[in-house]
Chain A
Amino acid sequence: NAGVMQNPRHLVRRRGQEARLRCSPMKGHSHVYWYRQLPEEGLKFMVYLQKENIIDESGMPKERFSAEFPKEGPSILRIQQVVRGDSAAYFCASSPAAGITEAFFGQGTRLTVV
């Protein structure tokens, strides 16, 4: 019974490249959340998705960032033309529903932009 799986664990990108972060939710979970943790800060909500739908993207930067959760396969957080300020830990969480349930977190992807 695997937990939330994120890959890669560590990702190094040069400025201007694209970063793709993957998140496979727990079995039976159809709700996925992405959070970003900047150095010395707490986790900040980015986006909430259900299968094939973006429910809440109020925390996503307006440019260069996008997320999807297709019918088949993992959820993808995509960052185009990365800049140094994108360096952070990106965490994915999943839950079976949006109501009174807890979310389970993955181990995160640490993105370093050089």
Chain B
Amino acid sequence: QVQLVQSGAEVKKPGASVKVSCKASGYTFTSYGISWVRQAPGQGLEWMGWISAYNGNTNYAQKLQGRVTMTTDTSTSTAYMELRSLRSDDTAVYYCARGITTDFDYWGQGTLVTVSS
């Protein structure tokens, strides 16, 4: 069965970086892209960007350009999302999901990233 398993919760100080992993199983990793979505406490869903697991092409949300990098390791079927220069308003649950348009059919369990001094 398809599964996306994310890395554990992180606590970071403002200005630091965080890298969240998303390990895929149960399907051919390179046949689908991975999108990243975040949700601040009590808030709605925010699309962050996607990466093609086939060729590494990416597309990021404009507001995160320059601070976010999405990568994949096809040898381990793992996707990564790194966010730099963290601010308090980056505190959120970060999700990976399979797909790159809008039909995100499988989701990871979420990773809570807390940014606090």
Answer whether A and B are interacting partners.
no
